[in-house]
Amino acid sequence: MRLRATIVLLSSGLLGLGAVGCSDHCNAACEELSQCDQGIPNGAANCDVYCGDERAIAEQSGCQSEYDAWFDCLDDAQDACSSCGTQKIQYLQCQGVFPGG
């Protein structure tokens, strides 16, 4: 019984670490995007709020791979303000927010 409880606790902890990694992925890109003319995307109060909302939307809409592709692109971009438009449009189209989706 103790072994099972230990495995469950370790698994939960690893899942928590994965969530933090995803958060850092978005937060780093959001901090860069906040320096653009538009400020923090979607008018969110801060990057933690924005990233939490976007992650939830991506999961609920089944658009996690498009979300990941957009933020992977932003991670690699030299200038987040003018990069990754194609990936962002694909993410929004997946959600049905952008025409053509």
Q: Is there a domain that residue 37 lies in?
A: yes
Range of the structural domain that residue 45 is part of: 2-95
Chunked in runs of 10, what are the mean pLDDT values of the chain (101 residues)?
38 35 72 86 85 92 94 90 92 81 49
Q: Is there a domain that residue 62 lies in?
A: yes
Tell me the pTM. Answer: 0.68
Q: How far apart are CA 30 and CA 70, in angstroms?
A: 12
Q: Is there a domain that residue 101 lies in?
A: no
Q: Is there a domain that residue 100 lies in?
A: no
Q: Is there a domain that residue 20 lies in?
A: yes
Domain count, the chain: 1
Give me the pLDDT at residue 24, please. 62
Of residues 71, 81, 69, the one with CA closest to residue 28: 71
